[in-house]
């Protein structure tokens, strides 16, 4: 680790309270001798090795930007603010990954999501679940070890099913509690212990909308670093139409025709805002519109 970190070809990706340092359409990769890296003693995680050298993640969350744009717009749903560090004046600043992930390359997005998830796990799992003593980061950031009882702890990933529910020419979309007006997406929910994917899909749709689902097919997956989920995308065939809403889960749900969804994707339905680009829900819906699910 010391050898990789000291190499001139090593690069460091900087994070601040879950945000990533970007410049234009790129994740910023700092040299080891950059002042932002050299003068900071925050925890580091080895993200992996590229052909050019090792890539580390550095947590700068202790830095205080003096209240520079920390407010969350849209009631906390999305943080569009950017914090610029004085030692990285040539960069755009620290941005919410949700605001820039569609501009990043696949590799940059992967590195950003991995670092964000790991730092979030370290913040929320500081203490040993076995004896309560504060654990320490080991294995280049990919494990925590309790100095009291020697129990190892590993990063967690929470499986989430996300469903493209269809019935003929319509798909079932929902609007979560606290979401912006008009924003709709595919239904989704966390899997329960001991539950197969198909059962989770049927249960979540039934619980949230009262709609019964029959056949379920797996389509695609996406790691979702907010904070550490694996989105499991499925196609679910509905066997009923009537919606009985669970107000604790959804603020609104409705059946949307292909034609209405196409108009929403084209920007002609201001009352219907489909899932954002970069999210697996948008991928599922756009492929359903194009009849490319198979």
What residue has token string 């830095």? Answer: 63
Look at residue 41 in the predicted model and tell me its pLDDT.
75
Domain residue limits at 131:
126-156
Whether residues 183 and 100 share a domain: the answer is no
| pLDDT tens profile 25-61 | 999 999 999 999 987 877 899 999 999 899 999 999 9
| CATH number of domain containing 163 | 3.90.79.10
Residue 148 lies in a domain: yes
Q: State whether 281 and 205 are in the same domain.
A: yes
pTM: 0.90
Distances (CA, A) of 220 to 104, 196, 223: 20, 16, 11
Question: Is 294 a member of any domain?
Answer: no
Number of structural domains (the chain) is 3
Cα–Cα distance for residue pair 160/56, rounded to 1 Å: 28
Tens digits of residue pLDDT in 135-144: 999 999 999 9
Considering the domain architecture, whether residues 114 and 164 belong to the same structural domain is answered as: no
Answer yes or no: do 60 and 97 share one domain: yes
Of 107, 136, 156, which one is at a domain's C-terminal end? 156
C-alpha distance from residue 248 to each of 71, 119, 160, 178 (Å): 26, 30, 18, 11
């Amino acid at each position: 680790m010391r050898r990789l970190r000291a190499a001139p070809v090593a690069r460091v990706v900087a994070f601040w309270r879950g945000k990533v340092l970007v410049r234009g359409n790129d994740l910023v990769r700092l040299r080891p001798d950059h002042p932002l890296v050299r003068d900071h003693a925050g925890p580091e995680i080895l993200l992996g090795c590229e052909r050019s050298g090792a890539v580390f993640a550095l947590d700068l969350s202790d830095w205080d930007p003096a209240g520079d744009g920390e407010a969350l717009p849209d009631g906390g749903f999305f943080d569009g603010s950017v914090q610029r560090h004085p030692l990285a004046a040539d960069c755009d600043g620290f941005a919410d990954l949700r605001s820039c992930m569609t501009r990043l390359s696949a590799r940059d997005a992967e590195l950003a999501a991995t670092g964000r998830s790991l730092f979030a796990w370290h913040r929320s799992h500081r203490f040993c679940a076995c004896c309560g003593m504060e654990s320490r980061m080991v294995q280049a950031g990919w494990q925590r070890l309790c100095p009291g009882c020697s129990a190892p702890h590993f990063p967690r990933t929470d499986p989430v099913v996300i469903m493209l529910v269809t019935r003929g020419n319509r798909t079932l979309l929902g609007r979560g509690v606290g979401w912006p007006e008009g924003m709709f997406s595919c239904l989704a929910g966390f899997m329960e212990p001991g539950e197969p994917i198909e059962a989770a899909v049927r249960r979540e749709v039934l619980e949230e909308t009262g709609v019964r689902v029959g056949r379920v097919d797996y389509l695609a997956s996406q790691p979702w670093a907010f904070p550490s989920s694996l989105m499991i995308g499925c196609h679910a065939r509905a066997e009923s139409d009537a919606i009985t809403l669970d107000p604790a889960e959804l603020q609104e749900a409705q059946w949307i025709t292909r034609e209405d969804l196409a108009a929403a994707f084209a920007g002609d339905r201001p009352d219907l805002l489909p899932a954002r680009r970069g999210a697996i829900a948008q991928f599922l819906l756009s492929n359903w519109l194009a009849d490319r699910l198979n």
